[in-house]
């Protein structure tokens, strides 16, 4: 499936078949690495991002979520205009509460607004220089 996944990145049947296999094997951790490798080739591939989110949400293991915010931050550093990465950040922060210790939604909102503002300002400064 790895070879087919690389050869047919935009074929939803390949991704669906991977879901069936990883559900049967119950070994989701390697799938995040595979998805990361695919995103190196095509950082905006909808199927890959959707699959990555499925792995995280379906198995919902703390070890899978560890480092996910860093992963998406690196993707945004590579391309601030990557809407898929921004969507994934929203997914990570709001929908699955990676930062479980932060129950104050107002604080999380302030942190996220500060993050977006800082990233956009850096991008604008890079464009000016």
Cα 110 from Cα 83, distance rounded (Å):
21
Asked if residue 65 lies in contact with residue 56, where contact means CB atoms within 8 angstroms, the answer is yes
Told to judge if 27 belongs to the known catalytic residues of this protein, a careful annotator would answer: no
How many domains is the chain built from?
1
Residue 4: which pLDDT band, with cuts at 50, 70 and 90? confident
Q: What CATH number is associated with residue 46?
A: 1.25.40.120
What are the b/e assignments for 9-48, b being 16+ CB within 10 Å? Answer: beeeebbeebeeebeeeeebeebbebbeebbeeeeebebb
Q: Report pLDDT digits (tens) over 24-72.
A: 999 999 999 999 999 999 999 999 999 999 999 999 998 999 999 999 9
Cα 89 from Cα 75, distance rounded (Å):
10
Domain with 118 in it: 2-128
pLDDT value at residue 53: 96
Asked if residue 60 lies in contact with residue 96, where contact means CB atoms within 8 angstroms, the answer is yes
Q: Report pLDDT digits (tens) over 70-115.
A: 999 999 999 999 999 999 999 998 876 545 555 677 888 888 999 9
The predicted model scores a pTM of: 0.86
Of 6, 10, 13, 104, which is the active-site residue?
A: 10
- Rg over alpha carbons for the chain, rounded to the nearest Å, is 16
């Amino acid at each position: 499936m790895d070879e087919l996944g690389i050869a047919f990145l935009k074929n939803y049947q390949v991704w669906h078949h991977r879901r069936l296999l990883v559900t049967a094997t119950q070994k989701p951790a390697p799938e995040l690495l595979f998805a990361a490798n695919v995103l190196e080739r095509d950082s905006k591939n909808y199927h890959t991002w959707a699959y990555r989110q499925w792995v995280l949400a379906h198995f919902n293991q703390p070890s899978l979520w560890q480092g996910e915010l860093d992963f998406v931050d690196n993707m945004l550093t590579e391309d601030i205009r990557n809407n898929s990465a921004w969507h994934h950040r929203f997914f990570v922060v709001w929908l699955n509460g990676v930062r479980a210790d932060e129950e104050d939604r107002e604080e999380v909102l302030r942190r996220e607004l500060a993050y977006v503002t800082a990233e956009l300002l850096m991008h604008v400064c890079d464009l000016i220089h």
